[in-house]
Amino acid sequence: MVYVKRIVLDVLKPHQPNALEFSQTIASVGADYRVHLIVLEVDENTETIQIEVTGNTIDFEAVQSVINDLGGSLHSIDEVEVQSEPDSD
């Protein structure tokens, strides 16, 4: 089984929710998610951010879905770290 351990995403989002609320909501998707958010550029209505999510088994679809729910738009997946682990059964 291949697990996603780390992803770095380039996202365009409205000013609200702010960076803190945005990263907290993403972190709440998984039990052990760690989110590192950097605001790269601020425009009149939007801001470009880089989000790094780390965890044992990152559910990318769920992360993308919560970004869309918050009004964000995923521009690119900039970095990925995956690991293959033997199945437990």
Tokens of 29: 């998707």
Kindly state the number of chain residues that form the binding site for other proteins, as judged by CB under 8 A.
14
Report 33-62 residues binding other proteins (CB under 8 A): 43-46
SS3 content of the chain, % helix, strand, coil (to 5): 20, 50, 30
- Please list, in sequence order, all residues whose beta carbon lies within 8 angstroms of the beta carbon of residue 68, skipping any fewer than 6 positions away: 74
CB of 79 to other proteins, least distance (A): 23
Q: Please state, in angstroms and rounded to a whole number, the distance separating the CA atoms of residues 73 and 12.
A: 5
Instruction: State in angstroms the smallest separation of the CB of 29 from other proteins.
Output: 13
Interacting span for other proteins (CB under 8 A) from 2-10, 31-39, 64-72, 77-85: 64-72
Interacting residues with other proteins (CB under 8 A): 12, 14, 16-17, 43-46, 68-73
